[in-house]
Structure 1
Amino acid sequence: MKYFRSASSGAVHAYEDDIAVESDDNGVYRFTTAEGLAVDAPSDLVPCDAPATSGQSVESRKRALSAVVQRHLDEVAKGLGYDDMNSAVTYADEPAVRRFQDEGQALRAWRSLVWAACYDLLDRWSKGQLDEPNADELIASLPAFTAPA
């Protein structure tokens, strides 16, 4: 799930993972369905973490935390100029431009390390071995990305 909060009302809106979210240079978001239907979001919507989890199942909370991790992966890839993580890793096996291949390989390897750490932490949490992490704690516990030289 992708979560957005209205700055004016405080309401949290959730969108399924198959909704593509793009932002222009002014911070205006556009949501596009898998069928290609696009809509501009209200100008006061900003990305946020999953809302409070009271009353939600463990599986639902795991999905919400996993969405936070996916957003983190996508943000790092976007910081290197890619559309998202999925786009970035397509360059891993493309030798035409060495820089893109190196970044794709580094991002692909890092993505695997991140998900392994995330699933391990969520598994330990669901078994009661540690407290439920909030989004910031979860991201802080993950391996950091090191860009290739």
Structure 2
Amino acid sequence: MSVITIRPAPPPAIDDYRKAIETLLDGEARTRSYDSAISIATYMGSTNAQWALEAGAFVAWRDAIWAYAYSELEKASNGQRSRPAVSEFLAELPLINWPA
């Protein structure tokens, strides 16, 4: 009889987190009828006040997400924290505060 060794799945790669964050950002932009994260960011200087407000809120949120992600993923790369499941990491990220 042979012995089967079950090994835990390897932790996600750093690129897995990056792709998930990009998907999250694009998805959130689409909730406001923009094509993507890049698209909404282009409205920062819009002459339409609502679009400019939405773009400002989105860009501030995007920046907060990446600042947090880079900091925490650096810790994971250096062994200062474990690499959580991608879904768990996404749950750690700040939430957007859309303008009224």
Which of 44, 53, 60 is the matching residue for 1:102?
53
Aligned to 2:81: 130
Q: Deviations over 1:87-124 (max 9, x none)?
A: 00100111x21110000111011110000001111011
Query: What amino acid sits opposite 1:71 in the alignment?
Result: T
Residues 65 and 94, structure 2, Cα contact 8 Å, conserved in 1: yes
Q: Deviations over 1:30-85 (max 9, x none)?
A: xxxxxxxxxxxxxxxxxxxxxxx63x9x8xx1112110011001111101110010
Which consecutive unaligned segments of at least 5 residues does structure 2 have?
1-8
Which of 15, 19, 28 is the matching residue for 1:67?
19
Distance 2:72 2:84 in 1: 9
Query: What does 1:1-149 align with in structure 2 at a 5 Å threshold?
Result: 54=10, 61-94=13-46, 96-149=47-100
Distance 1:68 1:138 in 2: 10
Distance 1:120 1:134 in 2: 17
Distance 1:90 1:133 in 2: 33
Query: What amino acid sits opposite 2:40 in the alignment?
Result: A
Higher helix fraction (1 or 2): 2
Q: Alignment length, in residue pairs? A: 93
Deviation above 2 Å: which 4+ runs of structure 1?
none
Query: What amino acid sits opposite 1:82 in the alignment?
Result: Y
Which consecutive unaligned segments of at least 5 residues does structure 1 have?
1-52
Which protein is bigger by CA-based radius of gyration? 2
Q: What is the DSSP-based 3-state SS (H/G/I as helix, E as strand, rest coil) of the residue aligned with 1:139?
A: helix
Residues 25 and 62, structure 2, Cα contact 8 Å, conserved in 1: yes
Provide the alpha-carbon RMSD of the alignment.
1.8
TM-score (norm 1): 0.58
